[in-house]
Amino acid sequence: MSDTTRRAFLGAAAAAGASAAALPRDARADAGSGNAPDPLLSGKELPTFKFELEKSRGKVSGLSFGKEATVEQLPISKGMAGVSMRLAPGVSRELHWHANAAEWAYVVEGRCRTTVIDPGGGSETNDFDPGDVWYFPRGHGHSIQCLGDTPCHFILIFDNGYFSEFGTFSVTDWLGHAPPALLAKNLGLPVEAFAKFPKAEVYFTHGKAPPEPAVLPHQGKFRNAPETHKYRLSVEAPHSVHPGGREWRVGQDKFPISKTITGVILELEPGGLRELHWHPNADEWQYVVAGSDLDVTLFGSHGRFRVETLGAGDVGYIPQGYGHSIENKGKGVAKLVIAFNTGHYEAIDLSAWLAANPDYLLRDTFGVPEDVVKQLPRHRVFLASKDGPGAAEPNPPR
Ligand code: MN
Ligand code: MN
């Protein structure tokens, strides 16, 4: 920043009443994508926000695979990325970390075990069943092992659409490229011992099914991390139940370590609708676990409106602040795993927004008679059914 620019910036900030403490944060926001238009989102039409993840090939090793949806595959998804991973019995996703992203996961089927280390030297080993969730903060080293004699399948979601390219660091890739003499000095083995180490990234490691329960780590004792990395989302009651569907949600309030991601399981009955809404503080990443003919709409101002139809195995992405809805036009119950890149969930729903305004203003806004306005819901709809908005919940979720 030149002196002139800096003076102009400080002057503008002072005029806006910004405190000295707020300056660095304001500067960061201006430098990031928050205020300047994203070229991808400022064209005449909205870009696609759908990717057929399970139809892609990804990285395959025998019966195990990892399929990615990053900015490579889905350019709109700059804020978040995801991976569908299947591990065959005896297979592990090797020790690695993500330099630029935290990892949130939902176990779809099978069982698996993770081990994660934090910078304080705490570590945790956890076993997961279907419906369980994990969260690994950015940069914390981890591994994932399939448990038992059936494959496991989980959806990984990252708080950065660029998480993969040059952002995933694997232990074999690192040690395979470091000089053996350096490793010998570091780890106390003879130099020759490192000749047998892999020379390239292994990614999926193969072995026997892990012992159950977990055995002690190499250091001889567990040193549990202060905050657990595991949350059993599906064993609790949904926070919101309607004729049109139900939703489970977990953010930092219930799962303290999950500071940058809130996860949601959304089930929609046939005809069910997650009403028009937007999220003031986060992008939204969607994965369809079950269902077909899910119409997801996206509104991007200037008359730009786009509909994508998602089915099982597809991914959708909603940029922060963009209006959207999800409607199950299929015959069966639809189930989605959804994540937001914030620990604190926020949404504004259309019905609640309208209901918070006076009738005369709604009448004049839409140019309709007052008796039409009077029929609008007086509560937040959240999930409508095939028959419409329905009654207010006794304890509406926040
Ligand atoms: Mn990972
Ligand atoms: Mn949403």
Q: Any idea which of 7-16, 91-100, 114-123 has the lowest mean pLDDT?
A: 7-16
Is 109 one of the annotated active-site residues of the chain?
no
Q: Strand 294-299 to strand 323-328: parallel, antiparallel, or no bridges (unpaired)?
A: antiparallel
User: Which of 68, 94, 103, 267 is an active site residue?
Assistant: 103
Chain mean pLDDT for the chain:
91
Evaluate if residue 288 carries a pLDDT over 90.
Answer: yes
CATH architecture classification, 50-231: Sandwich (2.60)
Distance from Cα 141 to the centre of ligand 1, integer Å: 8
Give the number of the ligand closest to the Cα of residue 167: 1
Catalytic member of 68, 86, 94, 98? 98
Find the 97 Cα to ligand 1 centroid distance in Å: 6
Confidence class of residue 396 from pLDDT cuts 50, 70 and 90? low
The answer to whether the CB of 355 falls within 8 A of the CB of 378 is: yes
**Hey, what amino acid is at 247?**
E
Distances (CA, A) of 264 to 147, 162, 353: 25, 22, 22
Question: Does the pLDDT value for residue 19 go beyond 50?
Answer: no
pLDDT bracket for residue 71 (50, 70, 90): very high
For residue 5, report the phi and psi dihedrals to the nearest 5 degrees: -60, -40
96 is catalytic: yes
C-beta neighbour count of 218 within 10 angstroms: 5
- Read off the pLDDT of each residue in 78-93 and give the average, rounded to a whole number: 98
- Delimiting residues of CATH 2.60.120.10 domain(s) in the chain: 50-231, 236-384
DSSP state of 257: T
Q: Which ligand is nearest to the CA of 325?
A: 2
Active site residue 103: yes
Q: Does residue 13 surpass a pLDDT of 90?
A: no
To the query of whether residue 267 is one of the catalytic residues in this protein, the response is no
Superfamily of domain 236-384: Jelly Rolls (2.60.120.10)
Residue from 111, 140, 142, 277 carrying the catalytic annotation: 142
Q: Per-residue b/e over 333-368, b at no fewer than 16 CB within 10 Å?
A: ebbbbbbbbbbebebebbbbebeeeeeeebbeeeee
Q: Tens digit of pLDDT for each residue in 195-241? A: 999 999 999 999 999 999 999 999 999 888 889 999 999 999 999 99
Asked whether the CA dihedral 249, 135, 277, 53 is positive or negative, the reply is: negative
Confidence of residue 390 (pLDDT cuts 50, 70, 90): confident
Residue 358 Cα to ligand 1 middle (Å): 49
Question: Does the annotation mark 165 as catalytic?
Answer: yes
31, pLDDT greater than 70: no
Q: Which ligand is nearest to the CA of 324?
A: 2
CA distance 77 to 79: 6
Q: What is the pLDDT of residue 15?
A: 42
Triad 41, 47, 52: Cα angle to 5°: 135
